[in-house]
Structure 1
Amino acid sequence: MQTTGIFKAALFDLDGTLIDSLAAVQRSWTLLAQRNQLDVDTVFSVIHGRPARESLALLMPEKTSAEIDKEMSWLEDLEANDTQGTIVLPGSVEFLETLNAHQVPWAIVTSGTLPVAMARIQASGIPKPACVITANDITQGKPHPEPYLLGAERLGVAIEDCMVFEDAPAGIESGRAAGGQLMAILSHYSQDVLQVEHAVTTIDKLTLLEHEAGDAQAKRWTLTY
């Protein structure tokens, strides 16, 4: 096993990192594309890792802010009520329960809105986090560093002492820009894309990780793979 980092807290993206909500995401965004006469492939090339409203603005630049708000409200309601097929990814529950057992602080930092995030957390059955950062808490979404900086601030841990778990390029760039340590989950993107373009440690799933109690007095943890 190779040591990948020593950290005091963990910051997790949600979709594609802890849970698999791809089926629900595909249904919702396909309906939105049809509703607005958008190319479905273009839609899915834009949305992963970004707040939904930012994606809508990118996909429909001709629409006014009020029109984007209307589409956002429609989409949020749809996604918060359609969690069919949302499942936990291998190792997520065990890893989060181990963090809780050792009193290691952790938070979810997602580009989704609060209603959507909480619906998917409940549907997947992962442990409920004490801290959730959503699109409702920030002014600039991933790949901007604000989401992960806010996550670290809410946990009361310096960002450089946080391990950031991500699956998408936009989220990885957000974690890097914030100054966190990075671990990428290969759920949506290939190892070549994430390693070559973003130069991060990659794993297939959280069950490949081992954890050791590092410096108990300093509350640091060692993560290996």
Structure 2
Amino acid sequence: MKTLTKNLLLFFIVALSFKSYSQNNNDFKPKVVYKSSELIITQISKNTFVHTSYKQTQDFGNVPCNGLIVKDNDETIVFDTPTNDKSSEKLIQWLTVKNHLKINAIIPTHFHDDCLGGLNAFHKHHIPSYAFLKTIELAQQNNLPIPQNGFVDSTILKVGSESVIIKFFGEGHTRDNVVGYFPKENVLFGGCLIKELNASKGYLGDANTKTWSDTVEKVKGEFAKVMIVVPGHGKYGNSKLLDYTINLFKN
């Protein structure tokens, strides 16, 4: 009986803690914490920030490109570089000089230059880079900056006393697109695998549209508690972005 009472008490404590966190996270008001003509940094929760830089394209104009910063204590991990070394240098300086934070890792989520176009700036500052082995292979084939450390399918990296999960679920936007998850705040960085609400299918030159929906279904199943979803381009939101992407690419 005592064990049952203890277990019930523990359940209610965990449930109340999650509810309290969910309410606090929902109450958080996003704010722009850095802005220049080349780079915008927006805080979207207590310990996560979206960095947005720009890429001029022939078909889609000047496209805003998102990455994610996650923080715990005085350490950070960055998903996707800004689109070039100049914007990446601004991001690095904002994190390390202005805010006195250590960057533990930079993680390009696929091989396109809106993910690793500024990788050399991070390497110049001796910040280690990690990527899916296929991303490294495709970067080499396309004469792009090459991530230093490879992983097979998935890896977990430490940031402060917390962890981030990086995992390949299947082909979609590219053959190598991975996603990043920050369990502490249930934030998913979907990168270009995930579309903002009402977006078009976008660039499909390296895509596998036949498997795209199935891949996102797997992401949704794995991270069922996700509260914030950040796409590679456009506005972040919640799990509705996963549903929208799944439906957009259903055959």
TM-score in same-fold range (> 0.5):
no
Relative contact order, higher structure (CA 8 A, sep 6+): 1
Shorter-normalised TM-score: what interval? Answer: 0.3 to 0.5
- Report which of the two has the higher share of strand: 2
- Report which of the two has the higher share of helix: 1
Normalised to the residue count of structure 1, the TM-score between the two structures is 0.35
Normalised to the residue count of structure 2, the TM-score between the two structures is 0.32
